[in-house]
Amino acid sequence: MKITFPDGSHKDYEAGTTLAQVAQSVGSRMANEALAARVNGSLVDLDKSLTGDAQVTFLTFNDELGKDIYRHSSSHVMAQAVKRLYPGTRLAIGPSIEDGFYYDFDIPERISEEDLEKIEKEMAGIIAEQIPFVREELPREEAMELFGKLGEDYKVELIRDLEDETVSVYRQGEFVDMCRGPHVPHTGYVKAFKLLHTAGAYWRGDERNKMLQRLYGTSWFDRKDLKVYLNRLEEARKRDHRKLGRELDLFSILEEAGPGLVIYHPRGAIIRTILEDFEKKEHLRRGYQIVMGPQMLKADLWKRSGHWDNYRENMYFTEVEGAQYGIKPMNCVAHMLIYKSSIRSYRDLPLRYFELGTVHRHEKSGVLHGLLRVRGFTQDDAHILCTPEQLNSEIRGVIQFVRDVMDVFGFEYEMEISTRPEKRIGSDEDWERATQALMTALDDEAIPYRINEGDGAFYGPKIDVKLRDAIGRMWQCATVQCDFALPERFELEYVGTDGERHRPIMLHRVILGSIDRFLGVLIEHFAGAFPAWLAPVQVKILTITDRSANYARSVAEKLRVEGFRAEVDLRNEKIGYKIREARLEKVPYMLIIGDKEADTGTVSVRHRELGDRGSVSFDDFVAGVRGEMFPPVIKHKEG
């Protein structure tokens, strides 16, 4: 039989040769690093025998699929260890996730963080045993009987819901699990791992079901990579926006107020205000018109838009004078009503409506996470209504807007296109046109992208922008979505050059996305040490003695007149203590004022990172730092 490799080369083998033997023939490195393979497009284990000509691609830890297989195998090792240590444990699910894996268990006793070391020790023993992963395929009924006898009720429920008549299971010694696979050849392949923490998780994500115990872990092919990752996790813990939000007095989320509802304190609110003012200015410069819609609209509108059928579980509803209303989860419906308020001509288009719109979405309590996942948030939301001929330039304009703004904050980014999901509105033809429009725009901008199958919005495909922060983590913020369906449902029209009525195309887009989420990302990106233009307090005046209090107040007042955000610390404390506190508050500049400064009309400048910068006149200080204190002006092309 002839085996063809990804580079186009091929080699003849005896029928019955296993993939592991093929990998060995390629070379010792491939033999050591291959985890599984893709054969004629299908993922398979390395112990599979080949019986005819095939296209073969070996998967290693350098491949995303290889990482998934490696980490899913790691979750099986962890599950086997838990079953050994805690008899009576029932298995739920154990997938790979980004940088790691987890498994949900129904365990007779509570697992604490302290128990993880014991589980790790048992895992190390299982790895040392080099137990093979052995695949079996069973008829569906036989698989249900097998797991029923094992007392694995959750597995039986999963199998019952499958449509396939055949179920694959994997055995490793005494351990058996239902799994599509593939897996690494044996447990010894798991070279470097660490269990991270425990959490609660409802079975199938449903709050009405039993709460299970979820154990999280990470695994890497190389111990050095594991060490780097654990160091990054430690850095992430230091940067946690929830921790820094408390320390810097930015915001609070209180159970008595309601989960997922953010209360901004003065310092957090001023950062949000700076971001919002920056956004308004940049949108106006790009020809957007600011609009505002109500917080709730009649339910009939949400039925017409498709939200009722496709998004209702994420919405809140109320009743007013016998009529049902939906609290808005998105701003698009009101923007379409504004469009419909007048007869539109092709000469009016494109119309770009922008709103800093506060929306509410029902998120389950288990997924709420500080500012990053909330129930009420504000989006820098815009909807662009344009002709087919304008579509490409409008998509590219949004992409360029994103690029300009991300440069201001120092973010690198990647892009992906999410395609049509199962639940959707609109014709397949329109979905194809919309997807092609997004691809063409990215190609025209020479921006590489990935395809994320099936994750588009219910009304159209989208470009998602993934930001990379200071420690390498990816965050999804900006998006642009191409929508042919909602203009059709709301009968939006414009009069064309031919005097006939035509349907516009609508782009839904955000630049920062949720302002709340973006602020959380910024806090972690900058570790709370915002650039001076974003810092809630830009300058703190610290007095050495009470004698200089009046001069300190006058300096603060003059700074405020200049547009700087300044505070005065007049407390009767040692100056070293005041400096330390100001540094903990991440204030960019401190002005030390004593008798000498008061007598000479100067200020002694101290920088957050650079330390003592010497004594200068007030005017020289202002002139020297003015460029840092205000939002950058983005230079962009006209039109």
pLDDT at 205 over 50: yes
The parent domain of residue 611 ranges over 539-628
- For the stretch 126-168, pLDDT in tens is 999 999 999 999 999 999 999 999 999 999 999 999 888 999 9
pLDDT at 169: 96
- For the stretch 323-334, pLDDT in tens is 999 999 999 999
pLDDT at 55: 95
Contact of 381 with 387, CB cutoff 8 Å:
no
Reported as a pLDDT band with limits 50, 70 and 90, residue 365 is confident
Q: Is residue 259 part of a domain?
A: no
| Residue 387 and residue 419 in one domain | yes
Whether 328 is catalytic is no
- For the stretch 429-453, pLDDT in tens is 999 999 999 999 999 999 999 999 9
Whether 347 is catalytic is no
Domain boundary among 239, 261, 284: 239
| Residue 355 and residue 479 in one domain | yes
- For the stretch 579-593, pLDDT in tens is 999 999 999 999 999
3-state secondary structure of 265: coil
Whether 381 is catalytic is yes
Angle at 31 between CA 28 and CA 34, to 5 degrees: 140
| Residue 210 and residue 153 in one domain | yes
**Catalytic one among 508, 517, 540, 578?**
508
- Tell me what the mean pLDDT of segment 363-371 comes to: 87
pLDDT at 423: 87
Whether 635 is catalytic is no
> Total structural domains in the chain?
4
Reported as a pLDDT band with limits 50, 70 and 90, residue 639 is very low
Q: Is residue 364 part of a domain?
A: yes
Q: Is residue 482 part of a domain?
A: yes
Residue with tokens 């002694």: 604
| Residue 429 and residue 338 in one domain | yes
Q: Is residue 246 part of a domain?
A: no
Give the separation between CA 178 and CA 185, rounded to whole angstroms.
Answer: 17
pLDDT at 103: 97
| Residue 87 and residue 227 in one domain | yes
- For the stretch 268-303, pLDDT in tens is 999 999 999 999 999 999 999 999 999 999 999 999
pLDDT at 638 over 70: no
Ordered strands of the 351-360 beta sheet: 289-290, 351-360, 376-386, 505-514, 474-483, 462-468, 412-418, 450-452
Q: Is residue 339 part of a domain?
A: yes
pTM of the full structure? 0.82
pLDDT at 637: 56
Smallest CA-to-CA distance from 563 within 628, 506, 483, 630 is with 630
User: Chain centroid to CA 327: how far?
Assistant: 24
The C-alpha torsion from 79 through 83 and 86 to 88, rounded to 10°, is 120
| Residue 54 and residue 192 in one domain | no
Whether 332 is catalytic is yes
| Residue 76 and residue 42 in one domain | no
Domain boundary among 503, 525, 547: 525
- For the stretch 226-275, pLDDT in tens is 999 999 999 989 999 999 999 999 999 999 999 999 999 999 999 999 99
**Catalytic one among 71, 307, 462, 606?**
462
Q: Is residue 312 part of a domain?
A: no
| Residue 481 and residue 549 in one domain | no
Buried (b) or exposed (e) across 222-238, using 16+ Cβ within 10 A?
eeeebeebeeebeeeee
- Tell me what the mean pLDDT of segment 490-507 comes to: 96
Which tokens hold the place of 145? 């009987």
**Catalytic one among 352, 383, 525, 606?**
383
Contact of 458 with 489, CB cutoff 8 Å:
no
Residue with tokens 């579509």: 391
Give the separation between CA 164 and CA 167, rounded to whole angstroms.
Answer: 7
Residue 482: exposure state from Cβ atoms within 10 A (0-12, 13-18, ≥19)? buried
Tallying the residues shown for the chain, one arrives at: 639
Instruction: Determine phi and psi for 14, rounding to 5 degrees.
Output: -70, 140
| Residue 8 and residue 152 in one domain | no
Domain boundary among 31, 59, 87: 59
Smallest CA-to-CA distance from 260 within 273, 251, 272 is with 251
CATH number of residue 600's parent domain = 3.40.50.800
CATH number of residue 21's parent domain = 3.10.20.30
Residue 177's CB: how many other CB atoms inside 10 A? Answer: 22
Q: Calculate Rg over the CA atoms of the chain.
A: 30
Instruction: Determine phi and psi for 203, rounding to 5 degrees.
Output: -55, 125
pLDDT at 635 over 80: no
Distances (CA, A) of 393 to 283, 328, 398, 441, 444: 16, 29, 9, 8, 10
Q: Is residue 209 part of a domain?
A: yes
Residue with tokens 């004593």: 594
Reported as a pLDDT band with limits 50, 70 and 90, residue 471 is confident
CATH number of residue 455's parent domain = 3.30.930.10
| Residue 35 and residue 138 in one domain | no
**Catalytic one among 68, 381, 464, 516?**
381
Whether 361 is catalytic is yes
Which tokens hold the place of 27? 């070379």
Distances (CA, A) of 574 to 36, 367, 541, 606: 65, 45, 14, 16
Whether 462 is catalytic is yes
| Residue 415 and residue 518 in one domain | yes
Residue with tokens 């919405």: 315
Q: Is residue 146 part of a domain?
A: yes
High-pLDDT (> 70) share of the chain, %: 99
**Catalytic one among 83, 283, 361, 473?**
361
**Catalytic one among 332, 386, 477, 482?**
332
Give the separation between CA 112 and CA 86, rounded to whole angstroms.
Answer: 13
**Catalytic one among 172, 379, 390, 538?**
379
- For the stretch 398-437, pLDDT in tens is 999 999 999 999 999 999 999 999 889 889 999 999 999 9
**Mean of the per-residue pLDDT values of the chain:** 94
| Residue 341 and residue 439 in one domain | yes
